[in-house]
Amino acid sequence: MLLDAWALAIETLSWVELQRISERTALAKAAKQLGTDDSSAVRLAHKLVCETGRRKNLIDFLINSVLPPQSLNDFKLGLRAFLRLYTYETKIVHTGFEKAVRIARIGRSILGWRELQRVEETLGEILSIGIDDVVKGISDEEKVGLLTCHPTWFVKYCFRLLGRMEALKYLEDSMEITPTYIRINTLKATEETLLSKIEKDGITLEKVPRLKHTYKVIKNKQPLIRTQSFHDGFFYIQDKASCLVPEVADPQRGMTVLDVCAAPGAKTTYLAQLMENEGTIYSLDYSKRRMKVWKRETKRMGVKIAVPLLADMRKPLSTKLLADLVILDPPCTSTGTFSKMPSAKWRLTRRSIVSMARIQWEMLNICGNYVGEGGYLVYSTCSITVEENEMLIERFLKWHPEFTLVKASPRIGLPGLRGQTACQRLYPHLHKCNGFFVAKLLKETT
């Protein structure tokens, strides 16, 4: 099993680097390619890949410190991946000498002895180096970036946004995976009945205060997606911050709702639940692949009022539509989800924020045209940057004076920045969920 897991982890990391895709997508691709169906091997490979990817900058820094005149980029993808995994096991997990020798043998079995022979001396040197010694003499921001495993540019950004002390707490806590939350689906039965059935599946839950149907998973005997309760649509695996958005939107029965960037279906299924399957939800997304997941999820959750629309909201829709409620959760830099999506932080640069904010503005500006008088527009992202959040809302209000900010409640987060106290911000280190922003705007009647 260990050999299969390491082979899968090496192949997965190679795909992540080659195609710049997520760990989960790369793992599925690698498992299919290698024909690996051992669930234990897949789980171990997933852990190795995520924990190694989470610390990529520190691991690469350590490896490169013992490689001169060569560098990590001089090697093939497979050897690069093995060196990173080996360094994670020996310097982060602190595997003993015997385990390190065993890992080296596994590497020879997978990559071949000729390939591994190129770095055999390096493996010994990696064992002997100390992290504190290697990071001496570098700048404060770079050292923080290495020790909290974040890009230096993002460390500087967080220092400016939150102040050094609060930023350190945020960055350090982002190394830990936030709790798993589920949302009970009362379209299937009463909450009390569903909780009883879910408990029989070996799932222990704890109610999240101030949210209607959200629970933190305390313990589960098997993966949630393999339980009968999940199969029957009794719950949706959904972060606490994501559950907040439909509750802030507060849809009523009989409303017409436009859910923009709706796939894979978290918002649509909760909106339908809050509307008790009465009214109409137009669920729009540009991705055919993601909309296939949306169709599967809306069916599993018993949603009957959602209409799928395949379109790009950066351009006006071809149909006339005025909604009582428009919800936009656009693509973003996902800076609030680094703990769950570690490879994302290495694909971003400071310019990524500007590029993403441009796309978000195009979508937000157009969405305003589809809100009827007296209706609401709810905007949210899983990013903590002001460029993707408060600055866009400021710009939107200047361009659309018919809209005003209203209080986004229930309140489980902190007030927004730049004077936008009606908005909400959530941070992993404070709220134990994804970093998030949500704003609610009212289109006043003329």
Which residues belong to the active site?
382
CA–CA distance, 144 with 169 (Å, rounded to integer): 11
- Say how far residue 69 (Cα) sits from the centre of its chain: 37
Token pair belonging to 315: 């351009």
Which residue blocks in 88-239 are alpha helix, DSSP H?
A: 97-111, 113-117, 120-128, 131-134, 140-148, 152-162, 164-173, 191-200, 228-231
Residue type, 184: I
User: CB–CB of 257/247 below 8 Å?
Assistant: no
How far apart are alpha carbons 154 and 151 in whole angstroms? 5
Instruction: Round to whole Å and give the CA distance between 91 and 85.
Output: 10
Quickly count: other Cβ atoms within 10 Å of residue 372's Cβ: 15
Single out the residue of 255, 11, 191 nearest to residue 111, CA to CA. Answer: 11
Q: Which helix (H) or strand (E) holds 148?
A: helix 140-148
DSSP-derived 3-state class of residue 175: coil
Indicate the DSSP class of residue 90.
Answer: I
User: Of 229, 232, 270, which Cα lies nearest the Cα of 248?
Assistant: 270
Question: What are the tokens at 422?
Answer: 């009606």
Whole-number Å distance between alpha carbons of 300 and 270: 13
Q: What gap in Å lies between CA 103 and CA 100, rounded to an integer? A: 5
Contact 53, 16 (CB under 8 A): yes
The DSSP secondary-structure symbol of 342 reads T
User: Do 369 and 316 form a contact (C-beta atoms < 8 A)?
Assistant: yes
Helices 56-65 and 77-87: crossing angle in degrees, nearest 10, is 100
**Longest CA–CA separation in the chain, Å:** 77
Residue 92 to residues 86, 87, 137, 173, 344: CA-CA distances in angstroms?
10, 7, 21, 17, 21
Contacts of 438 (CB under 8 A, 6+ apart): 244, 245, 248, 378, 379, 380, 408, 413, 423, 424
